[in-house]
Amino acid sequence: MTESRSGGISGVAGGKSRFDDIYDRPDPRAYFARLAPLQYEIPHHAQPDFRQTAAERTALDDGHPRPPAVLDLCCSYGINAALLNHDVTLADMYQRYTSSTAQTMSTAELTAWDKEFYAERRRSDAVPVFGLDVSGPAVAYAHAVGLLDVAFTDNLEQVPPSPRLGRALAQVGLITLTGGGSYITARTFTTLLAKARRPMWVNAFVLRTISYDPIEQALAAHGLRTTCDPSRTYPQRRFTDTREQRYAIEAVRALSHDPADREQAGRFHTLHYASRPGPDTSR
Ligand SMILES: C[S@@+](CC[C@H](N)C(=O)[O-])C[C@H]1O[C@@H](n2cnc3c(N)ncnc32)[C@H](O)[C@@H]1O
């Protein structure tokens, strides 16, 4: 697959189109411009779940004086943090970052514009959010505009956590994930859980083309029980082309899901996995 920095997809991995070149820009404009025609929408579906779960986790008395932090895994430009802690919708973000006003700005101007925008919309129930993503520019932007309290770029698929990330994980009580299930494995979760010092909850929206079993088992090894309603799916985005659709239909069938009215209708669908400490009764 050819790579284009101005448009199109940037490759294929395991049959799914990749968008690597929009993950490491100095600001989120290319990300939203590229994903808008594909109607990438999973952060919108996750928003109410992450808000409710963060509130429940914050209300849990775990004996620590400070509220637990949320760690948004594969956080990119801080989209889930924006939707969690601000009166903002994903549609607002698409409109903002693809607007003609935004196109005229330098990254520095956009940063200043965003800082004010998010500060004005900050919710009274905002919780601390840490972000982890291998893209330095993306997390730097999210941190600069105030979406992330702290940002990390450790690639836990390849290296152990830095001491700084290790210390931060001791404050985390909830891990959230959208759009990252194709990039990370149980290895990342095992590392994160090994450093947890407070009860850890995990809420993840993961494509039906991917088996969550290895991650579920890794979480179970740390005492977390995972629930998922396989009848309830959440659309992630339109397919880039018929090749990608064929791949997705085959992949979901291989995992015993029915693609009718879902992948066959033209979009990737996700399942929602919620893990909390408890006995593993699944097997
Ligand atoms: C599709 S984006 C999802 C961004 C955001 N969560 C959303 O839903 O809009 C996937 C992100 O995963 C990040 N990523 C890829 N490999 C990773 C890894 N090993 N650890 C952490 N993040 C990774 C990429 O840099 C990219 O920002």
Antiparallel, parallel or unpaired: β 224-227 and 150-152: unpaired
Question: What digits encode the pLDDT tens for the residues 169-215?
Answer: 999 999 999 999 999 999 999 999 999 999 999 999 999 999 999 99
Q: If you measure from the C-alpha of residue 75 to the centroid of ligand 1, how many angstroms do you get, rounded to a whole number?
A: 6
Q: If you measure from the C-alpha of residue 178 to the centroid of ligand 1, how many angstroms do you get, rounded to a whole number?
A: 8
Q: Is 168 touching ligand 1 by the criterion CB < 6 Å?
A: no
Q: Is 23 touching ligand 1 by the criterion CB < 6 Å?
A: yes
State the closest ligand 1 atom to the C-alpha of 42, by its place in the atom list counted from 1: 8
Q: If you measure from the C-alpha of residue 175 to the centroid of ligand 1, how many angstroms do you get, rounded to a whole number?
A: 14
The pLDDT, as a whole number, for residue 12 is 52
Q: Decide if 168 contacts 197 (C-beta within 8 A).
A: no
Domain ranges across the chain: 11-277
Q: 228 pLDDT exceeds 80? A: yes
Q: 2 pLDDT exceeds 90? A: no
Question: What digits encode the pLDDT tens for the residues 237-246?
Answer: 999 999 999 9
Q: Residue 39 is encoded by which pair of tokens?
A: 């109607």
Helix (H) or strand (E) holding 129: strand 129-132
Q: 3 pLDDT exceeds 70? A: no
Q: If you measure from the C-alpha of residue 81 to the centroid of ligand 1, how many angstroms do you get, rounded to a whole number?
A: 14
Q: 226 pLDDT exceeds 90? A: yes
Q: Is 142 touching ligand 1 by the criterion CB < 6 Å?
A: no
Amino acid 198 reads: R
Q: Is the pLDDT higher at 10 or at 243? A: 243
Which stretch of 27-31, 46-50, 279-283 has the lowest confidence by average pLDDT? 279-283
What pairs with residue 120 in β-bridges? none
Residue from 9, 17, 71, 133 to probe ligand 1 pocket by mutation (most atoms less than 8 Å from CB): 133
Q: Decide if 85 contacts 123 (C-beta within 8 A).
A: yes
Q: If you measure from the C-alpha of residue 63 to the centroid of ligand 1, how many angstroms do you get, rounded to a whole number?
A: 32
Q: Is 76 touching ligand 1 by the criterion CB < 6 Å?
A: yes
Q: Quote the CA–CA distance of 263 and 268 in Å, as a whole number.
A: 6
Q: Is 135 touching ligand 1 by the criterion CB < 6 Å?
A: yes
Which residue's CA is minimally distant from atom 19 of ligand 1? 155
Q: If you measure from the C-alpha of residue 207 to the centroid of ligand 1, how many angstroms do you get, rounded to a whole number?
A: 14
The pLDDT, as a whole number, for residue 18 is 87
Q: Is 189 touching ligand 1 by the criterion CB < 6 Å?
A: no
State the closest ligand 1 atom to the C-alpha of 177, by its place in the atom list counted from 1: 6
Q: Decide if 186 contacts 155 (C-beta within 8 A).
A: no
Question: What digits encode the pLDDT tens for the residues 57-90?
Answer: 999 999 999 999 999 999 999 999 999 999 999 9
Question: If you average pLDDT over residues 10-36, what whole number do you get?
Answer: 88
Average pLDDT of the chain?
Answer: 94
Q: Is 139 touching ligand 1 by the criterion CB < 6 Å?
A: no
The pLDDT, as a whole number, for residue 8 is 41
Q: If you measure from the C-alpha of residue 263 to the centroid of ligand 1, how many angstroms do you get, rounded to a whole number?
A: 22
Instruction: Read off the pTM.
Output: 0.95
CATH of domain 11-277: 3.40.50.150
Q: Quote the CA–CA distance of 56 and 21 in Å, as a whole number.
A: 36
Question: What digits encode the pLDDT tens for the residues 101-134?
Answer: 999 999 999 999 999 999 999 999 999 999 999 9
Q: Is the pLDDT higher at 15 or at 190? A: 190
Q: Is 43 touching ligand 1 by the criterion CB < 6 Å?
A: yes
